[in-house]
Amino acid sequence: MSCFLSNSSLGKKLVMSVTGCFLVLFILFHMSMNVTAIISPEGYNAICEFLGANWYALAGTVVLAAGVLIHFLYAIILTLRNYKARGTQRYAVTVQEPGVDWASKNMLVLGFIVLAGLLLHLFNFWAKMQLVEILGGHESMVGGQMIAATDGAALIRYTFSQWYYVVIYLVWFAALWFHLTHGVWSMFQSVGWANDTWYPRLKCIANIVATIIFLGFAAVVLVYFFCPCIAGAC
């Protein structure tokens, strides 16, 4: 079984599909959690405290990091293999449509943008929250003042008071949208679930999921930028 997953093209695509599904589910959860920061900053901070340096949160962080790493490494392996086998084409799809050509042919580039955004996000938030708690601290320096490692709402407020972070994050979310519009339906295709009947349905589902994720994340950024009174700024 391990040889099938690591050596065969179908096995690698299956790994990509499983890790991709896991990551999409996490992104939906993370987006829903972030939207809470608009509705109730106090409720959001309660979630941040619950997901601090507790054993279950740390175990989840390790599993998530492994999922991202495996997904990214297998994407590179598949892309390099298909470059070698088919020149400049990406991994083959059984159904082609002009509307998905750009995203499908630039999945690796989009993946690098998404990964870069993730690293920036880890620097802006994880390093000032869970990592601080892991190292035994309770506060971190943000904008010249100390804030509690569990005060995620204040951290959001400060980060998105900077216009350049607003722009960077919106570009990141846009790249994630393109990545998901292709990735969500292609993970079903990789396991043989996409045919002439189901392809339009899966494509529609992919667009809906990607758009919900984009709008949810973007709403948090824009609301905190244009309404600084949220989370006690005024």
pLDDT-derived band at 8, boundaries 50, 70, 90: low
Determine the pLDDT at residue 35: 95
- Please write the tens of the pLDDT for every residue from 169-192: 999 999 999 999 888 877 777 666
- Please write the tens of the pLDDT for every residue from 126-181: 999 999 999 999 998 888 889 999 999 999 999 999 999 999 999 999 999 999 98
The number of CA neighbours under 13 Å toward the Cβ of 130 is: 20
Sequence-ordered list of residues with C-beta below 8 angstroms from that of 47, at least 6 positions apart, any chain? 33, 36, 152
The dotted CATH code for 2-226 is 1.20.1300.10
Determine the pLDDT at residue 165: 97
Domain boundary assignment for the chain: 2-226
Q: What angle do CA 151, 175, 149 make, to 5 degrees?
A: 10
Tell me which residue of 27, 21, 18 sits closest to 176, measured CA to CA: 27
Structure tokens at 93: 């799809």
pLDDT higher at 187 or 73? 73
DSSP track, 132-198: HHHTT-SEEEETTEEEETT-HHHHHHHHTTSHHHHHHHHHHHHHHHHHHHHHHHHHHHHTT---TTH
Residue 3 has pLDDT above 70, yes or no: no
Question: pTM of the predicted model, to two decimals?
Answer: 0.84
Determine the pLDDT at residue 92: 43
Determine the pLDDT at residue 10: 72
Determine the pLDDT at residue 175: 94
**CA distance from start to end of the chain:** 58
